[in-house]
A = this chain, B = another copy of it.
Amino acid sequence: MAEEQTRENTDRRDRRQNPVPVQRHCPVEATADLIGGKYKSLILYKLTGETLRFSQLRKAVPCATPKVLTRQLRDLERDGLVRREVFPVVPPKVEYSLTDFGRSIRPVLEAMSAWGRGYLQERRRKEKNAEDETA
C-alpha cells in the first residue's frame, strides 16, 4: 500500500482539475518541479559525493530550520532523489544520501553552481559601480 501512496503523490503539487492537459510536463518544468524548492538544489549539491547526517545537513544548510529541512528532505525522498537511512542506535542516527537517480542530476547542479558564480560576480560588480557613482 505504500507503493500506491507513492504513485498517488508522484505529482506532488496537487494541481486539481488542471485546465491544460496538453503537455502538462515538459522536461524543464518537470525538473523545476522537483528541485524548485528553496533549498532542494542546495541539499542535493551538498549531498553530492558524501552521505550526511541530519545535523550535518543543518550545518550545511544553516538557513533552513529543522522543519523546513525535514520537509524538503521528505520531498526529495518521495521523489526518489534522496535515500534516508535510519540506524536504530542511541543516540539516534539518520543518514541521507543520494540515490542513483539523485546522483544523475549532478550535471544540473554543476551547471547551476557554475552559472551562479558568474551571476554573483556580475552582481558584485554592479553593486560596486553603483557605490562608486554614489560616492
Contact = CB atoms under 8 A, between A and B. Distances in A.
A31 B127 contact: no
B101 A108 contact: no
Contact of A107 (B20, B105, B115): B115
For chain A, the bracket of interface size reads 35 or more
Nearest to A134: B4
A17 interface: no
Interface in A89-112: 101, 104-105, 107-112
Interface of A: 3-4, 7, 10, 18, 20, 22, 24-32, 34-36, 38-42, 45, 62-63, 80, 101, 104-105, 107-120, 122-123, 126-127, 130, 133
